[in-house]
Chains A and B, each alone.
Chain A
Amino acid sequence: MILEGKIWRYGDNVDTDVIIPARYLNTSNPEELASHCMEDIDTTFVGAVRAGDIIVAGRNFGCGSSREHAPVAIKASGISCVVADSFARIFYRNAINIGLPLLEIGEVVGRISAGDYLSIDTTAGTVKNVTTGEVFQAPPLPPFVQEIVRAGGLINLLKEARP
């Protein structure tokens, strides 16, 4: 799948508490969660994010709490993909399980700046910085994880496998 969009650029260690603060966790409704996504580090996000936009961040994106509400809020905001230097592991699992594409491209993420335009091929794992012309490669997902992505999440895969 090819994804193109405007980017939202964040730094290292963006934790799940700032992605969706716990004061809003008295619901798991995706739209309600999306209406507060990122507000503790970026008050412009909710008002200006558009379907298809991409989040680009540094190291350890999604660290902290295991709340699946975090990738759910990001996905319901319209974000099509998160590109980072690295991801915290529970966030990574949760995103895969709910069908939010992630690409882990390492330190070269530093060569993507706020205002750049990206074109991403999630199947090939490539991130093209259209603004600078550079192309970055994420390592391929293990086959089993690809199966989850293909099915559109873990539950769909389990339903397919049902005897």
Chain B
Amino acid sequence: MAMTMTEKIMARHAGLETVEPGQLIQCQVDIVLANDITFPPAAQEFSRIGRPVFDVEKIVLVPDHFTPNKDIKSAEMAKTMRQFVKENGIKHYFEVGRMGIEHVLLPEQGLVAPGEVIIGADSHTCTYGAVGAFATGVGSTDAGAAMATGQNWFKVPSSIKVELTGQLSPWVSGKDVVLTLIGRIGVDGARYQALEFCGEGLQSLSMADRFTIANMAIEAGAKNGIFPVDDITETYIDGRVQKSYERVAADEDASYARTVTIDLSALTPVVALPHLPENVRPVSEVNTIVINQVVIGSCTNGRLEDLAQAAAIFSHQPVHPDVRTIIIPGSQQVYLDAMKRGYIETFIRAGAVVSTPTCGPCLGGYMGILAAGERAVSTTNRNFRGRMGHVDSEVYLAGPAVAAASAVMGRIAGPQEVLK
């Protein structure tokens, strides 16, 4: 029977010849991930099972949400993780100073590979679909159980084929692609389904673009987003991934629940207005909205290519006097590379602050909380009510070029307004 990429990976990890949408299966997992918020309850559930960890190489723990710790309680949570790592001999743990935002860090470190089944107690675990893995977010109980059993139960999702044609114009990026998609199908448009990206348009999408797109599959309700493994993927993972892996491709006659076609050539920079990621508008329609803060970073847009776009804007003009701009490289490596290329100096000279890697402001944790009535343009992934601070604050989601241009103009703006 012909299968999609997701079906094929799931079948292989369940020890089955074939699977079909709706089927409940038990899969072996290749990676179990948790962070400083989701790990403590996962550890508690794990300890109730009373078995040792299934594989010290396959559990990845990253304290990235409230670290460097914002208060005593979050320090206690990080301490719980640190002790577990020592007691159980966990190999892949990233202490502050080596830590990055998990979904930037794991691919960079070669810990996620094509064809794998990856679960993480973080909804943006779906990011790893960019390297051709089946990756999905779970809760702490699922993660804790899998740390003991090396398995998880799944309902095989049906797949939506997202056919990409044409190529991206300058200053249009993966964020514009995924926001446009969510705007079209809605925040539950892919609920319980897989988004499988394909088509000639893939050629114009860098790995950074693909990570951004797969990252926000959850914002359409999807179980996972997945990209085929092509030369661009191979170039990225070459030298990073040390373990053996299997390149999985969809069968040509695989069946899909539906097809959504996006012409990349027709895309323009967009923003998602409060309070849902589906409220997507072209920048040109909303460029009178005055803003107070800009955040550039996160698991969605904290990669070197994202910082390069922002630096290109800030090298023309500084941050507007009424705007606070917070830039957060997604990992220590991204930070170092951005320094070598002069981006960090450009940011500081433009009047932005540069932070060590953290999820902080994206989820309203710390490092850039909004007051009542304030508005932020953010390259993060959610603009729910109160997400970045006060319940009466507003978040406008955009890619790094729009975020930087908005920081310069003091209102929502497209890159061309700064560059002209």
Q: Does the CB pair B364–A21 fall under 8 Å? A: yes
Total interface residues in chain B, CB < 8 Å: 51
Q: A63-B187, A64-B382, A93-B139 are in contact. Are A159 and B50 (CB under 8 A)?
A: yes
CB–CB A88/B191 < 8 A: yes
Q: A17, B187: Cβ atoms under 8 Å?
A: no
When distances are taken between beta carbons in the complex, the residues of chain B under 8 Å from A67 are 37-38, 139
**In the complex, chain A residues 63-102 whose Cβ is within 8 Å of any chain B Cβ:** 63-69, 71-72, 86, 88-90, 93-94, 97-98
Contact indicator per residue, chain B 111-133, by CB within 8 Å of chain A (1) or not (0): 00000000001110100000000
Q: Is the beta-carbon distance between B49 and A65 smaller than 8 angstroms?
A: no
Given contacts A59-B188, A159-B49, contact A88 B221 (CB under 8 A): yes
Query: Out of A22, A66, A72, A93, which one reaches B364, CB within 8 Å?
Result: A22
Q: Tell me the complex Cα distance, A41–B44, Å.
A: 30
The contact of A97 among B50, B137, B142, B385, by CB within 8 Å, is: B142
Contact B187 A144 (CB under 8 A): no
Tell me which residues across on chain B come within 8 A of A40, comparing CB atoms.
385-386, 391
Determine which of B141, B276, B364 lies in contact with A68 in the assembled complex, contact meaning CB atoms within 8 Å: B141
Known: A17-B382, A60-B188, A90-B123. A65 touches B50 (CB 8 A): no
The interface-forming segment of A23-31, A109-117, A130-138 is A23-31
Instruction: Point out the residues of chain A lying under 8 angstroms from B137, CB to CB.
Output: 66, 90
Contacts of B192 in A (CB 8 A): 89
Which of B354-382 touch A at CB < 8 Å? 363-365, 382
B71 — which chain A residues lie within 8 A by C-beta? Answer: 26
B221 touches A63 (CB 8 A): yes
Q: Is B148 interfacial (CB-CB < 8 Å)? A: yes
Least CB separation from B77: chain A residue:
A26
Residue of A nearest to B392 (CB): A40
Q: What chain B residues lie within 8 Å of A26 (beta carbons)?
A: 66, 70-71, 73-74, 77
Say if the beta carbon of A108 comes within 8 Å of chain B. Answer: no
The answer to whether A103 has its CB under 8 Å from any CB of chain B is: no
Cβ of A47 within 8 Å of any chain B Cβ, yes or no, is: no
B148 → chain A closest CB, angstroms? 7
When distances are taken between beta carbons in the complex, the residues of chain B under 8 Å from A93 are 138-139, 142
Is the Cβ of A23 less than 8 Å from the Cβ of B365? yes
Q: Which residues of chain A come closer than 8 Å to B387, judged between CB atoms?
A: 17, 22
A70: nearest chain-B partner, CB-CB: B139
Known: A18-B385, A40-B386, A93-B138. A154 touches B145 (CB 8 A): yes
What sequence of 0s and 1s flags, for each residue 10-25 of chain A, a beta carbon within 8 Å of any chain B beta carbon? 0001010110011101
B77, B139, B145, B385: the one within 8 Å of A90 (CB): B139
Most buried by B among A63, A67, A94: A63
Q: How far is the CA of A57 from the CA of B41 in the complex (A)?
A: 27
**Using Cβ atoms and an 8 Å threshold, which residues of chain A touch B391?**
40
Per-residue 0/1 for B205-222: is the Cβ within 8 Å of any A Cβ (1 yes, 0 no)? 000000000000010010
Determine the chain A residues whose CB is within 8 A of the CB of B121 once the complex forms.
66, 68
Write the chain A residue with the least CB distance to B43. A28
A155: Cβ under 8 A from any B Cβ: yes
In the complex, residue of chain A having the shortest beta-carbon distance to the beta carbon of B359 = A22
Of A17, A59, A89, most B-chain CB atoms within 10 Å: A89
Q: What A residues does B155 contact at CB under 8 A?
A: 142
* Selected contact of A94 from candidates B70, B139, B187, B223, CB within 8 Å: B139
Task: Give the docked Cα–Cα distance between A153 and B48 (Å).
Answer: 12
Which residues of chain B in 372-419 are interfacial with respect to chain A, using CB atoms and an 8 Å cutoff?
Answer: 382, 384-387, 391
Contacting residues, chain A, for B191 (C-beta < 8 A)? 60, 86, 88-89
- CA of A12 to CA of B50, assembled, Å: 40
B346 at the interface (CB under 8 A from A): no
Instruction: Determine if A66 and B363 form an interchain contact, defined as CB atoms under 8 angstroms apart.
Output: no
Which A123-163 residues have a C-beta within 8 angstroms of B?
142, 144-145, 153-155, 158-159, 162
Q: A60-B187, A68-B38 are in contact. Are A158 and B221 (CB under 8 A)?
A: no
B365 touches A144 (CB 8 A): no
Residue of A nearest to B192 (CB): A89
The CA of A133 and the CA of B288, in the complex, are separated in Å by: 51
Question: Whole-angstrom distance between the alpha carbons of A93 and B53 in the complex?
Answer: 22
B17-46 vs A, Cβ < 8 Å mask (1 yes, 0 no): 000000010000000000001101100110
CB distance from B175 to the nearest CB of A (A): 18
The docked-state distance in angstroms from the alpha carbon of A144 to that of B138 is 18
Q: Is the CB of A18 within 8 A of B144?
A: no
Q: How far, in angstroms, from A88 to B121 measured CA to CA in the complex?
A: 15
Q: Provide the residues of chain B in CB contact with A21, threshold 8 Å.
A: 364, 386
Q: Is B332 an interface residue (CB 8 A)?
A: no
CB contacts (< 8 Å) of A94 on chain B: these are: 138-142
Is the pair B188, A97 in contact by a Cβ cutoff of 8 Å? no
* B-side contacts of A68, CB under 8 Å: 38, 41, 121, 139-141
Question: 5 closest Cβ contacts across the A-B interface?
Answer: A94-B139, A68-B139, A26-B73, A66-B123, A22-B363
Q: Which residues of A contact B (CB under 8 A)?
A: 13, 15, 17-18, 21-23, 25-28, 40-41, 59-60, 63-69, 71-72, 86, 88-90, 93-94, 97-98, 142, 144-145, 153-155, 158-159, 162
Of the A-B pairs whose beta carbons lie under 8 Å apart in the complex, a sample of 23, sorted by A's number, is: A13-B187, A17-B364, A17-B382, A17-B385, A17-B387, A18-B386, A22-B365, A22-B387, A40-B386, A64-B382, A65-B123, A65-B363, A65-B382, A66-B122, A68-B41, A68-B139, A71-B139, A72-B41, A88-B188, A89-B192, A90-B218, A97-B139, A159-B49
